[in-house]
Structure 1
Amino acid sequence: MRGLRVVAFAVAACVAAIGIAHAQDATTLKKTMPGQWELSTTERSKTCVVTMKGDAAGQGFKLELEPACKTTLPFTKDIVAWSVRGLDIVRLQDATGEAVIDFTEVEAGIFEGLRQGEGVYILQDLAAARSMAKSMDQMIGDWSMVRGNGQPVCGLTLTNTEAGPDNFQVFLKPKCDPAIAQFNPAQWRLERGQIVLMSKSGEAWQFEADDNAQWRRVPDTADPLIMLRQ
């Protein structure tokens, strides 16, 4: 019996600890969410600024939508407040407290939400979103691929022409190294600070910026492949 009591006590302690952790996470979200956020489609073709506030409003907290939101993203016309539900759900809700869209954090400062029949929407810090957009603009143009010894092996052009959700067209220039010509990337995107090139077959190469403002293919090798802005 004593063993059972010990087990029961341990289970109760775990449950209590989980409850505290949940409360702490929810409390943290309530403190960190107030501010300006960008609500957008995944490819950012439609964007809307949401200002979340810490003031209570009915069953949640106050928020403001920029005037263009209701035209750009029609579902936002029903949003009147925000709240935190459960452990980690940020809810944009209607006047009755029902969800218009629920978001969960997928990485620091970036939340994803799904609306059935419409698709996935992104909620992220406004300053970070605009910085990302600026970074994307800086990527567009002509690039050169070189080996670690500086020998050019291919030229390519990154464009802002959409080629699917979050992806854009890329074109190789003539006379590329056979290995790169065989890979033959058709799309690119900027993902978590990396340039990702993708072939028609679904193969992907990732490049990370190094300390010399170059983009090196990862994982690194003894004969690295480097992308340089032209």
Structure 2
Amino acid sequence: MRLRRLLPVLGFLTWAGCAAAQEASPLPDVAGPWELALDGSFRRCGLMLGAEPGSVGRALRFPAGCRRALPLINGIVGWRQEGEMIQLLDREGQPVLAFAGPEGDGPRSAETPGGERYSLAQAGTIPTNSRPAAPLVTQAALTTPSSLRGAGPENWAGAPSTAASVAGLYTLDRFVEKDVCRVVLRAETAQVTAQVTAQVQEGCRDPGLALFDPTAWHYEAGRLTLVARRGHSVELIPVGEGRWRRDPEIGTTFLLRRVEP
């Protein structure tokens, strides 16, 4: 009889213990490399969410060029994690951007009071099934000289006249390092249309380009556009024989230089 009376009590204690264990189990730590991007633009910045305490919340680090690329960064000094939410904090510890948990495999999203929307994606977690279809260009686009309309005075006078002449193997040069990552731009012709694809090569040592992950490109009016896996793009202008730099030149140095395979 005594055991029968104790069974409901033991059952309740077991349930309470399991519930407490679930509540106490910590969420995955999100410290590490991330990319912050202004939606609808090429403006982005690599962030390092540190695990150690900072002046406000936990330590936050980023390249100096981010202050120009994303002026919002100037007011952010730390970060914290609340449940599945990641908050980027100002000097008073107030959230400047609050990123809720992602929906599916997509990046996190947050909006400023002024209506600007930002995305936050963890380095190396971009799903392969989110690859956009490579844009198609006509055969004429590969053979007909471009008008080079809109080319500014900073553009190199010897800009390629055709998209076909742009295809090839390129290396990415940064401000202090060269040949940190290689990307091949292909133009595969098939009768009337041509498919242009871009692919980062193995051994890439640049987390920014690896995260951007270009999958397509196109060339028009003296400008080379790299299209990322997630659909956003970066424009480059010619600055010499086989050399292209990001336009406008903000943030960290982004220079593509053509090399032999």
TM-score range, shorter chain: 0.3 to 0.5
If each structure's helix is expressed as a fraction of its own residues, which one has the higher value? 1
The structure with the greater share of residues assigned to strand is: 1
Report the TM-score, using the length of structure 1 for normalisation.
Answer: 0.47
**Under a length normalisation based on structure 2, what TM-score does the superposition of the two structures give?**
0.42
- The structure whose RCO (Cα within 8 Å, separation 6+) is larger is 2
